[in-house]
Amino acid sequence: MSYVIQGETGDWEVVIGLEVHAQVISEAKLFSGASTKFGAEPNDQVSFVDAGFPGMLPVINEKAVEQAVRTGLGLKAQINHRSVFARKNYFYADLPQGYQISQYELPIVGHGTIILDMPDGSTREVGIERLHLEQDAGKSMHDQHPAKTFVDLNRSGVALMEIVSKPDMRTPEEAGAYLRKLRAILRYLGTCDGNMEEGSMRCDVNVSVRRPDEGFRTRCEIKNVNSVRFVMQAIEYEAKRHVEVYESGGKIEQETRLFDPSKGETRSLRTKENAHDYRYFPDPDLLPLEFDDAFVDGIRATLPELPDEKKQRFISDYGLSPYDATVLVFDKESAAYFEQVAEGRDGKAAANWVTTNLFGALNKLGKDIGESPVSAKQLGQLIDLISDGTLSGRLAKEVFEIMIETGDDPAKIVDERGMKQVTDTGAIEKAVDEVIAANPDKVAEVQGGKEKLLGWFTGQVMKATQGKANPQAVNDVLKKKILG
Amino acid sequence: MSLDNTTVRNIAFLARIDVPEAELPGLADELSAILGFVEQLGEVDTKGVEPMTSVTEMALRWREDAITDGGQQDKVLANAPDAVEGYFTVPKVVE
């Protein structure tokens, strides 16, 4: 898939790299014993370390190290057995230390790879440049008072993984697919909840444009975009802006910008020109972070099956199409649900019911798979009722609708409402005879060669039997009776 | 290495220290002297020597993932000049 911006002076290609900040799932913060729990009273989950009090020393949380390594393994990345924490110096009201403890020259995780699943079923590889551990800042609230900014340090010191991609993406769709895939991997691993709306996963977008086959041009960074859709919109807008600037003879300055979702545009964050002089240096409070192979192997041994492997298994074991497999492995819960439905049944039929009927119904209800009114066991029973001939496909869909509404077992619904498919030829023949007797002119048309009209007859018979007749059986009887 | 006034002004800005223009040349001389003193280390051949991060033979201490701190809003805010409803407050930092 190629995405080209056609300018007045020719074609332009878009170059995209993403930096994702993912909040690590852990009980306590990266360098203190205060809780990471969301939604507490302001400044109640703050140790003196997090508040930058004089003389306080950071002590690293083993869980944060483990989670970073686990994520690195999930991204098929190089794990660095020795990494170094550095101070990134800047002043801001919600950064009480005056610096963020981060990693600079030697991050805990190096090069890795993410495989994107594109909507057309194809795949594409994007490189991971690095993953490093760092502290989150506190939260500033600017809308509480006309002249003051309120600062809450509960988030200050929570562990973040900054995951930096290579500038390998060329379309807004690829950026969207990258974020969705990264989120899926983090959720499978249990290292970040991936919730962009609540800010536990945040994205900075680097965008530049260039002529096909030329080197990179100046990029702009769009900060803190908080949904996949906005990331895609921001890229589209920003790339067009670059083309317009270049084509009118202007120059793009490297700068930080903000995306305004209500206007769908990016605008410059007028920061002082020196703002990016972070003066990194190794943090003298912390020795290098070191661990051995045994530590990494121990984590590797507990890795779950990840989306890519699961997808391959679904394709080979259940005969699914790459598209269906991609949709099903998107989250762990859907994949587990599908496997329960598919067990001992036809995989393709199970996939079809889950991806089309169930996902469609859940979408309408605004529920996710964990809240499904129909359990995997019940959906399996419904498929069994089709296989054993109790239900036609059409009746099964009706039963399914009722299951969604009531949560009842399919067998109970079929019994109570008498929805069993009629396969008894006698009953079908009777219904067919009645329809034939009532429509002699149409019978003549069919016999005169208009065989397409048979479908109309089938419909009439189905109506007469309240949809309970087996359509195949009806067809057979009709053909026999009308055409002989 | 000698620092000029522009560099010193920038260092002061980054540290958010308000240095009057008249004091820049004096500071530039002092900082240049410090840098010159440290630069003597450049005479030592350090080829193939790992940068030393600590004088003690210690490895980084790790902590268990347990909540052992926090729940002390009053103490955290004790020195805040203008705490409101549990928040620190500062003069508004955006327009």
Tell me whether A139 touches chain B (CB under 8 Å). Answer: no
A225: tokens are 């975009």
Interface test with B, best of A149, A158, A223, A267 (most B CBs within 10 A): A149
The reply to whether residue A32 touches residue B59, judged by beta carbons under 8 angstroms, is no
The reply to whether residue A46 touches residue B91, judged by beta carbons under 8 angstroms, is no
Interface test with B, best of A27, A46, A290 (most B CBs within 10 A): A46
Tell me whether A95 touches chain B (CB under 8 Å). Answer: no
**Which residues in chain A have Cβ-Cβ distances shorter than 8 Å to B50?**
none
Are residues A408 and A461 both part of a single domain? Answer: no
Instruction: State which residue of chain A sits closest to B91, comparing Cα positions.
Output: A148
Question: How close does chain B come to A373, measured CA to CA in Å?
Answer: 37
Helix/strand/coil for A197: coil
Question: How close does chain B come to A349, measured CA to CA in Å?
Answer: 45
Antiparallel, parallel or unpaired: β A201-210 and A220-225: antiparallel
Q: Which residues of B touch A (CB under 8 A)?
A: 10, 13-14, 16, 53-54, 58-73, 75-77, 82, 84-94
Are residues A336 and A436 both part of a single domain? Answer: no
Question: How close does chain B come to A182, measured CA to CA in Å?
Answer: 25
Tell me whether A98 touches chain B (CB under 8 Å). Answer: no
Q: Where are the domains of chain B?
A: 5-43
pLDDT tens profile A124-150: 999 999 999 999 999 999 999 999 999
Chains A & B: contacts with CB separation below 8 Å:
131
In angstroms, the CA A179 to CA A116 distance is 9
Measuring CA to CA, which residue among A217, A281, A285 is closest to residue A55? A285
Global confidence as pTM: 0.86
Q: Across residues A205-226, what is the average pLDDT?
A: 94
Q: Across residues A66-74, what is the average pLDDT?
A: 98
Q: Across residues A276-280, what is the average pLDDT?
A: 86
Planar angle of CA A15, A16, A17, nearest 5 degrees: 135
A210: tokens are 């260039």
Average pLDDT, rounded, for chain A:
92
Residue A463, pLDDT score? 85
Lowest mean pLDDT among A95-104, A322-331, A397-406, A472-481: A472-481
Q: Across residues A437-459, what is the average pLDDT?
A: 86
Q: Report whether A88 contacts A102 (CB < 8 A).
A: yes
ipTM: 0.90
In angstroms, the CA A73 to CA A128 distance is 12
Lowest mean pLDDT among A195-209, A428-442, A460-474: A460-474
Are residues A246 and A369 both part of a single domain? Answer: no
* Domain final position from A299, A323, A343: A299
Which pLDDT band, with edges at 50, 70 and 90, does A341 fall under?
A: very high
**Which residues in chain A have Cβ-Cβ distances shorter than 8 Å to B55?**
none
The domain total for chain A is: 3
Which CATH number goes with the domain that contains A464?
1.10.10.410
Question: How close does chain B come to A42, measured CA to CA in Å?
Answer: 6
Which pLDDT band, with edges at 50, 70 and 90, does B76 fall under?
A: very high
* Domain final position from A242, A277, A299: A299
Are residues A271 and A360 both part of a single domain? Answer: no
The reply to whether residue A28 touches residue B94, judged by beta carbons under 8 angstroms, is no
Are residues A384 and A459 both part of a single domain? Answer: no
Are residues A295 and A331 both part of a single domain? Answer: no
Q: Report whether A101 contacts A85 (CB < 8 A).
A: yes
Helix (H) or strand (E) holding A187, with range, is helix A172-189
Residue A203, pLDDT score? 96
Q: Is the pLDDT of residue A479 over 60?
A: yes
pLDDT tens profile A420-431: 777 677 888 888
Of B63, B67, B87, the CB nearest to A59: B63
Are residues A207 and A293 both part of a single domain? Answer: yes
Question: How close does chain B come to A139, measured CA to CA in Å?
Answer: 10
Are residues A215 and A100 both part of a single domain? Answer: yes
Q: Which residues form the domain of A438? A: 425-483
Q: Report whether A230 contacts A263 (CB < 8 A).
A: no
Q: Is the pLDDT of residue A272 over 60?
A: no
At A358, the amino acid letter reads: L
Tell me whether A45 touches chain B (CB under 8 Å). Answer: yes
Question: Which residues lie below 8 Å from residue A349, measured CB to CB, with a gap of 6+?
Answer: A383, A386
Q: Report whether A112 contacts A166 (CB < 8 A).
A: no
The reply to whether residue A89 touches residue B10, judged by beta carbons under 8 angstroms, is no
Are residues A279 and A371 both part of a single domain? Answer: no
* Domain final position from A388, A417, A446: A417
Lowest mean pLDDT among A83-87, A278-282, A297-301, B57-61: B57-61
pLDDT tens profile B9-32: 999 988 889 999 999 999 999 999
Are residues A335 and A276 both part of a single domain? Answer: no
